[in-house]
Amino acid sequence: MISNQDLFHVHTFRCGHAEEVPDRAYIEKALELGAKGIWFTDHCPFPGDHFMRAHRMLYSDLPEYVDTLKKLKKEYTGRIEVHIGLETEYFIKYDEMGYYKELRENNDIEMLLLGQHMAELPDGRYSYDLGKEELIEREYKLLGEEMILGIQSGYFNAVAHPDRIFRKRRVWDDEMNAMAINIIHYAKLAGIPLEQNESSKATPNYYRDEFWRLAEGKADIIRGLDAHFLREIKLI
Ligand SMILES: [Zn+2]
Ligand SMILES: [Zn+2]
């Protein structure tokens, strides 16, 4: 459903770390470039707003986000397709609360993009609470395992930057290879595409050729911008 003439994976000012421009500015830029569609996937909030304000919109912002994009979708009909989505981590805790089901049941939200930026720990903390050494050792395993649960949950339409979980590892080893193969396998099984992320390419060690060599021909691959600034809007 994502065409290669679409601009996929665009954030908005609401997440706290993107350019302070109205959503319309991204659409106008996309039109200028001759794109067929634009997919907004801003960072999804969680009830209770446990996570840092600088990382995502507030839970109370969500209705406004959807409403604003709905109006723009209508306004731009016939010129460009405006799609409404959210990028979110998968957390067992919020699944048990019924949150993903609730998001899925919202007919205005067309796309849930699985972006596993952190993982839950059994003691209720999150992976970012671990020390530096432990993160080097375990981050990709924790994120990879939870990402696979997300893929299997059936709530998601695509996986954002799956290779980014390996960012803290310099040398590609057998265990990382096994994790990559698992992610690719379960994505294929679930019939959802894996995203090659333009923003990852700009950060050392975020984009892993080792991963994409394994995925080639084994899973569906899409390309996403992960745009947080107008200047990152481009056809790829
Ligand atoms: Zn972001
Ligand atoms: Zn993103």
Q: 1 lies in a domain?
A: no
Q: Judge whether 36 lies within some domain.
A: yes
The answer to whether residue 73 sits within a structural domain is yes
In a domain, 161, yes or no: yes
Mention every residue, 6+ apart, whose C-beta is less than 8 A from residue 7. 30, 33, 35, 37, 38, 39, 225, 227, 233, 234, 235
**What whole-number distance in Å separates Cα of residue 21 and Cα of residue 17?**
12
Query: In this structure, are residues 11 and 233 in contact, taking their beta carbons and an 8 Å threshold?
Result: no
pTM over 0.85: yes
**For residue 159, what pLDDT is reported?**
98
How many CB atoms are closer than 10 A to CB 89?
23
Domain-embedded: residue 18:
yes
The per-residue pLDDT for range 10-41, each reduced to its tens digit, is 999 999 999 999 999 999 999 999 999 999 99
The CA 99 to ligand 2 mean position distance, Å, reads: 20
The confidence score (pLDDT) of residue 127 equals 96
- Distance in Å, CA 203 to ligand 2 centroid: 14
Tokens at 230, concatenated: 């107008």
How remote is the CA of residue 39 from the centroid of ligand 1, in Å?
14
Nearest to residue 233, comparing CAs of 2, 5, 8, 3?
A: 8
Spacing, Cα 87 to ligand 1 middle (Å): 9
Residues with Cβ < 8 Å from 168, sequence gap 6 or more? 135, 136, 139, 140, 205
Residue at 175 is within a domain? yes
The residues pairing with 159 across neighbouring beta strands, listed in sequence order, are 114, 194
Report CA(160)–ligand 2 centroid distance (Å). Answer: 7
**Domain limits at 24?**
6-232
Share of the chain above pLDDT 70, in %: 100
| CATH number of the domain that residue 144 is part of | 3.20.20.140
Ligand nearest to the backbone CA of 17: 1
The alpha carbon of 74 and the centre of ligand 2 are apart by a number of angstroms equal to: 24
How high does pLDDT run on average in the chain?
97
Residue 54 has pLDDT above 80, yes or no: no
Note the ligand closest to the C-alpha atom of 18. Answer: 1
- The answer on pLDDT for 73 being more than 90 is yes
Span from the CA of 31 to the centroid of ligand 2 (angstroms): 21
Tokens, residue 168: 């803290």
104-125 pLDDT per residue, tens: 999 999 999 999 999 999 999 9
* Whole-number Å distance between alpha carbons of 127 and 85: 25
In a domain, 21, yes or no: yes
Q: Considering every ligand atom shown, identify the ligand nearest to the alpha carbon of residue 224 and give its number.
A: 2
Residue 17 near residue 51, CB atoms below 8 Å: no
The yes-or-no verdict on residue 53 having pLDDT over 80 is: no
> Given this model, what pLDDT does residue 211 score?
98
Query: Distance from the CA of 174 to the center of ligand 1, in angstroms?
Result: 30
40 CA distance to ligand 2 centroid (A)? 10
Q: How many domains does the chain have?
A: 1
Determine the distance separating the centroid of ligand 2 and the alpha carbon of 41, expressed in angstroms. 7
